[in-house]
Amino acid sequence: MARAGSRPAGIVLVLLLAVGAVAAEPLSGARSARAQAAEADLVYTCAFPSGPVKTGVTVSGTFPDAGTAGQPLAPGRITLKADVPRAALPAEAATVTATADLAMTLVQGTVSTATKWPAFTLPQVPVPESGDLVLTGSAAPPAVVPPKEGAAVFTAGALKLALTSRPAEGAAAAPQIVSCTPEQGSVTAVATVPVASGAVPGTPPECGKITIDPGNPGNTGCAYMTGFANVAKLGAATLLNDPAAAGHAVTNVIVHPPRGGRLLVDFQFATPLRARSTFLTFGFMPTTATIEMSQPEKGLVDLSIATGKLTVTGEMEIRITDASINGTPMRLGPNCRSRTPAKIEAVGGKDYGNPLVGGSINGSFDIPEFTGCGVGEDLSRIFSGAVSGPGNLLKLVQGPVCAPPDPGECPPRLPAPRR
| pLDDT score recorded for residue 270 | 93
Is residue 230 included in any domain, yes or no? yes
Q: What is the pLDDT of residue 34?
A: 77
What is the arithmetic mean of pLDDT over 162-174?
A: 90
211 inside domain: yes
Report strand pairing: 189-196 vs 67-68.
parallel
pLDDT of residue 280: 63
Residues 288 and 317 in one domain: yes
CATH number of the domain enclosing 41: 2.60.40
pLDDT at 358: 92
Specify if 338 maps to a domain: yes
In this structure, the answer to whether residues 246 and 168 fall within a common structural domain is no
Domain membership of residue 16 (yes or no) is no
Is position 225 within any domain? yes
Q: Is the pLDDT of residue 18 over 50?
A: no
Residue 27 has pLDDT above 60, yes or no: no
Q: Within this chain, do residues 203 and 191 fall inside the same structural domain, yes or no?
A: no
Total structural domains in the chain?
2
Confidence bin at 29 (pLDDT 50/70/90): very low
- pLDDT digit string (tens) for 359-383? 999 999 999 999 999 998 998 998 8
Given a cut of 50, whether residue 229 has pLDDT beyond it is yes
Same domain, 240 and 181: no
Same domain, 353 and 238: yes
What pLDDT score does 12 carry?
Answer: 27
112 lies in the same domain as 241: no
pLDDT recorded at residue 405: 59
Q: What is the CATH number of the domain that holds 355?
A: 2.40.160
Show the domain range for 374: 198-409
End-of-domain residue from the set 175, 195, 215: 195
Note whether residue 5 is domain-resident. no
Per-residue pLDDT at 186: 94
pLDDT at residue 2 above 50? no
pLDDT score of 141 more than 90: yes
Kindly state whether residue 300 falls inside one of the protein's structural domains.
Answer: yes
Categorize the per-residue pLDDT at 342 as very low, low, confident or very high, splitting at 50, 70 and 90: very high
Whether residues 146 and 219 share a domain: the answer is no
Q: How far apart are CA 112 and CA 110, in angstroms?
A: 7
Q: Are residues 345 and 379 in the same domain?
A: yes
pLDDT at 71: 83
Residues 152 and 186 occupy one common structural domain: yes
Put simply, whether the predicted model's pTM sits higher than 0.95 gets the answer no
**Same structural domain, 124 and 215:** no
Please tell me the least confidently modeled range out of 110-124, 238-252, 328-342, 359-373.
Answer: 238-252
Percent of the chain predicted with pLDDT > 90: 58
* Residues 253 and 387 occupy one common structural domain: yes
Domain boundary among 137, 169, 195: 195
Give 407's pLDDT tier (boundaries 50, 70, 90).
low
Does residue 309 share a domain with residue 275?
yes
Is residue 112 very low, low, confident or very high in pLDDT (cuts 50, 70, 90)?
A: very high
Predicted pLDDT of residue 183: 95
Domain boundary among 158, 176, 195: 195
Which pLDDT belongs to residue 406?
A: 63
pLDDT, one tens digit per residue, over 182-223 is 999 999 999 999 998 766 778 888 888 899 887 888 888 999
* pLDDT > 70 fraction of the chain, expressed in percent and rounded: 89
Domain assignment present for residue 23? The answer is no
